[in-house]
Every structure is written in C-alpha cells, then in structure tokens.
Amino acid sequence: MANPRLRALSRCRKWAKKDWAITAVGFTFILFALTLLFDSRNSDTPSPTIDHHSTQGLVPLTLLNRAKATGAFCLDGSLPGYHFQKGSESGSNNWLLHIDGGGWCNSIKTCNVRKGKALGSSEYMDRLVPFAGILSRHPSQNPDFYNWNIVKIRYCDGASFAGHPESEFKNGTKLFFRGQLIWEAIMSELLSLGLSNARQALLSGCSAGGLATLIHCDEFRDHLPTDATVKCLTDPGFFLDEPDILGNRTISDFYHDVVQLQCIFPHQIIKNVRTPLFIVNPAYDFWQIQHVLVPVGSDPRGYWKRCRLNIKECDSSQIKILQGFRSSLHKALSKLEKDKEGGMFINSCFVHCQTWMAETWHSPNSPRINNKTIAESVSDWYFNRKPPKKIDCPYPCNPTCHNMITPG
Ligand SMILES: *[C@@H]1O[C@H](CO)[C@@H](O)[C@H](O)[C@H]1NC(C)=O
Ligand SMILES: *[C@@H]1O[C@H](CO)[C@@H](O)[C@H](O)[C@H]1NC(C)=O
Ligand SMILES: *[C@@H]1O[C@H](CO)[C@@H](O)[C@H](O)[C@H]1NC(C)=O
C-alpha cells in the first residue's frame, strides 16, 4: 500500500500475542500528587527544609501555535503546550526535556473525561508551574543541570505521545488521538529554539512520560548533532506485565485497550533503545502495586486494603508477595544491567516518580543508595564518572526511603 495512512491503519491491528507478552508499558494516575503524603516517619533525618517560594521559580506555559498546521491537538482539540526556561553560561547549549506523567485513557469514556482536565486540554493547564527537582534552577537542588535549557512538556493526548489519528471518531465521538503529531510539533519548535545545536541533551519523563521517553528516545537522538552527547532517563517508564494477585491479567488487558483505542504501533513500544538509557525505578512502585499487582477488583474481601496504600501496613505474607514483584522487576532489568552504557537506580521504596520533586531528587534527606542521591547517580552516569548501576537491598532495609501513604 502506497498511502502511508492506510499502511498505518493496517499496522494498527497487527499486535500479535507475542507483542503483548513482551510489552512493558507504563501509566500513572492523576490523583497521585493530590492524595499522597510522604511518610517522613520512615526517615531518621528531619524533613527537608526547602523554601518552595524562594527556590522554585514559576515558569509560564507556552502554547504550541505551530501545532495548528499539522493538527497536532490535545484530546479536546486545543493546542498542546510546554514550559521553557532558557539555559545560561556553561549550560547555554545543553538541553534537558522532561515529559509529564498522568496515566493513560483506555476507552472513549475515560478519554472524554480528560477533555475537561489538564491531561486532555490546554484550556485547563496551569499557566505557571514551579520547576523543582531535575527541573530546578538551583545548584543546591539540581547540581549538574541547573543552568541548562529546561523544558517541561505537558501531557494531553492520553497515550504517551504515541497515538495516531487513524483511530479517531470512533462511534461518532469527537476526540483527537494525535500524540505522535504533538511529539513531532514539539520537537520542531524546540529545534528552532536552539535544540538543534545542542552539545549535551537529556530526554526524561515521569511514568506515562517515562514511557514516552522510551518510545521517542532514539528519534530524539536522531534530531541532534551526531557529535552531541544524548541520553535518556525514565522515572519510571519500565512497567511490568505481571498478573495480579488472583492471577488475572488486569494490566495487560488495560494496555491492550489503550493500544487499540489510540492505534499505537507495536514498533513504537517493542524495540531496543539504542541511545544510552538510565532507569529510575522503585522496586515497589506505588502505582504498579495499586494497578498491576493489587488492582481494586482483585481484592473483593479488602484483605489488601491498607497494605496497598501504605507498605508499613503489610503483613509478612503480603511482604512476601511484594518481594516476588521486586524479583520480577530485577529479572526484567537484567538485560539492562549488562548494557555498558545503561544506568539504573532501583531503590526499595514505595513511591512513584522521584526525579521532579526536590525531596526525592536531591536534598539532605532524599533516598540514597550507597550514599548517593538520585541526582548524583544520574550525573555519575551521564558524565561517565562512576559505575552507574545501583540496586538496593530489599524492603525495609533502606532508611532513606520516602514511602508514600494514601489517606485511607
Ligand atoms: C462502539 O460502539 C459499539 C456498539 O455500541 C461497541 O461495541 C464498541 O465497543 C464501541 N467502540 C468504542 C471504541 O467505544
Ligand atoms: C479473576 O480471577 C478469578 C479467579 O481465578 C475469577 O473468578 C475472576 O472472574 C477473574 N476476574 C476477572 C475480572 O477476570
Ligand atoms: C554520605 O555523603 C555525605 C555527602 O553527600 C557525606 O557528608 C557523608 O559523610 C556520607 N556518609 C557516609 C556514611 O559515607
């Protein structure tokens, strides 16, 4: 077939059984930041005293006007957006991109809900956002990237910037599935702002943005000068395709629906990333425990009700199951452990997305492995300083964890 659209449409349906079996994709959920609290009791050191008002500049939203030309719209048809802070001095030609997380929508109904929220429409996005953690302008919070050009890419397509318009207008609804086009429009804008001359660059993302990072990492690399240093960081973007506690394949059914709905091509997800990759991943990823291992429907008697929200409430048989989940993660990561250019920070904490918060990225009491913060470990890898693979001992051995708690 000569028509690329038609070719795309036919490819859209070609997910074989083995594709599903080896797919590892990620999601996060919108309530994350709203409902969770750090368990500071788990740490022996006092809470970090970071003054958010003086250390986190607010950065304005830029709407992507050039998206009109290609129809690269958010789910509701609005323009996508990003926040940009220009680099200075030694960082002027270096670029750090961070893609937001926010789960996926797997049905017309759930995608429609997003049309009325920032995750599906720029109408609802905050016009000013703080830049913290890996985005921070302050060397004390962000020792190696603070003066780079820093871009926070807003997520509004519901499918990790991987959907294709071939799957639109199902059953007469008006939803735009244009993630791939949004990605291309954002790249084109940033390249024109100086990314095309980058000397050093790092593409990163949290959760669904971590998956987008995996999907687009090599494309990103190919846009930049061949002699530039280009690497990618997912936090986390590496999600397990594991059965739940009843043995049902809850999460793989969910992936299946997202892929079918937004017409994601297998080659976008199932491939080896050529570009050097660093994985930040808690061994007991909070989101995965709640959505992969113990989804709500898997626990009708409420036996896991407290444990799935707070690891300190887990009994010994539940901890055993969590240790099994950790082993599956380590097994899945074993290939990357052998990769000389890859790096990892797999801490035994109950948390999700640790790079964009000052407290977990780099602060006096942030999580550490071998006494290194995530920021220090990522820098050691990015700048080829030290052996970059850090794997923690099993829970509850690490007192530096910031374990999440959802108020029950
Ligand atoms: C479209 O409608 C049909 C019939 O009501 C239903 O079976 C199908 O799942 C719907 N498709 C989507 C994508 O919602
Ligand atoms: C999950 O597994 C149980 C027991 O094997 C079964 O009874 C139940 O119907 C399954 N639930 C779903 C949603 O597939
Ligand atoms: C851990 O690192 C900090 C500096 O980041 C240092 O002050 C401290 O002495 C180190 N602790 C150990 C046990 O090495």
User: What is residue 63's three-state secondary structure?
Assistant: strand
Q: Name every protein residue with a CB atom under 6 angstroms from any ligand 1 atom.
A: 108, 170-171
pLDDT digits (tens, 9 = 90+) for 342-396: 999 999 999 999 999 999 999 999 999 999 999 999 999 999 997 778 899 999 9
At 116 the three-state DSSP class reads coil
- Specify the 3-state DSSP secondary structure of 329: helix
- Per the CB < 8 A criterion, the answer to whether 205 and 100 are in contact is yes
To test the pocket of ligand 2, the residue of 246, 250, 252 to mutate (highest count of ligand atoms within 8 Å of its CB) is: 246
pLDDT at residue number 150: 98
Distance 366 CA to ligand 3 centre (A): 12
Cα within 13 Å of Cα(51), Cβ side: 3
- Packed helices 179-192 and 208-223: angle between N→C axes, nearest 10 degrees: 50
Domain membership flag for residue 402:
no
DSSP letter for each residue of 39-66: EGGG-SSPPP---HHHH--EEEEEE-TT
Tell me whether residue 396 is in a domain. no
Residue 16 — very low, low, confident or very high, per pLDDT cuts 50/70/90?
low
Closest C-alpha among 133, 184, 152, 157 to residue 354 = 133
- Would the CB of 324 count as within 6 Å of ligand 2? no
Edge-first strand order for the sheet with 229-234 is 128-130, 58-63, 81-85, 149-153, 94-99, 200-205, 229-234, 277-280, 343-346, 389-391
Q: Which two tokens stand for residue 283?
A: 């061994």
Q: Is 408 contained in some domain?
A: no
Residue 10, pLDDT score? 40
Number of helical (H) and strand (E) elements in the chain, helices listed first? 14, 12
Residue 132 in any domain: the answer is yes
Q: Is residue 401 part of a domain?
A: no
Active-site residue, selected from the candidate residues 100, 144, 285, 380: 285
Cα–Cα distance measured from residue 391 to residue 279, given in angstroms and rounded to the nearest whole number: 11
Q: Which entry of 204, 207, 348, 379 is annotated as an active-site residue?
A: 207
Pick from 170, 177, 256 the residue to mutate for probing ligand 1's pocket: most ligand atoms within 8 Å of its CB: 170
Question: Closest ligand 1 atom to the C-alpha of 109?
Answer: 14
Of the two residues 11 and 249, the one the predictor is more confident about is: 249
400: in domain:
no
Averaged confidence pLDDT in the chain? 86
Q: pLDDT (tens digit, 9 = 90+) per residue, 132-180? A: 999 999 999 999 999 999 999 999 999 999 999 887 766 677 899 999 9
Nearest CA to ligand 2 atom 10: 248
Instruction: State how many domains the chain has.
Output: 1
- Report the alpha-carbon distance of residue 356 to residue 112 in Å, rounded: 28
Residues 33-81: tens digit of each pLDDT = 222 333 333 333 333 333 444 445 799 999 999 999 999 999 999 999 9
| pLDDT number for residue 305 | 94
Please give the Cα distance from 269 to 314 (Å, whole number). Answer: 34
Give the number of the ligand closest to the Cα of residue 300.
Answer: 2
Q: Would you say the CB of residue 246 lies under 6 angstroms from ligand 2?
A: yes
Let me know if 352 is a catalytic residue.
yes
Query: Closest Cα partner for 254 from 60, 362, 106?
Result: 106
Nearest CA to ligand 2 atom 1: 248
pLDDT in tens, 203-256: 999 999 999 999 999 999 999 999 999 999 999 987 888 999 999 999 999 989
Report the C-alpha gap between 343 and 280 in whole angstroms: 9
Could you write out the DSSP letters of every residue in 241-310? ----TTS--HHHHHHHHHHHHHT--HHHHSS---S-EEEE--TT-HHHIIIIIS-GGG-TT-TTTTTTT-
Q: Which domain holds residue 346?
A: 4-391
Q: Record the tokens describing residue 228, joined without a space.
A: 């530039």
Centroid of ligand 3 to alpha carbon of 371 (angstroms): 6
For residue 404, being part of any structural domain is answered with no
Q: Is 83 a catalytic residue?
A: no
Amino acid at 47: S
**What is the pLDDT at residue 26?**
36
Confidence at 25, pLDDT banded by 50, 70, 90: very low
Of 83, 216, 352, 362, which one is the catalytic site residue? 352
Annotated active-site residue 207? The verdict is yes
| CA-proximal residue: ligand 1, atom 10 (nearest) | 171
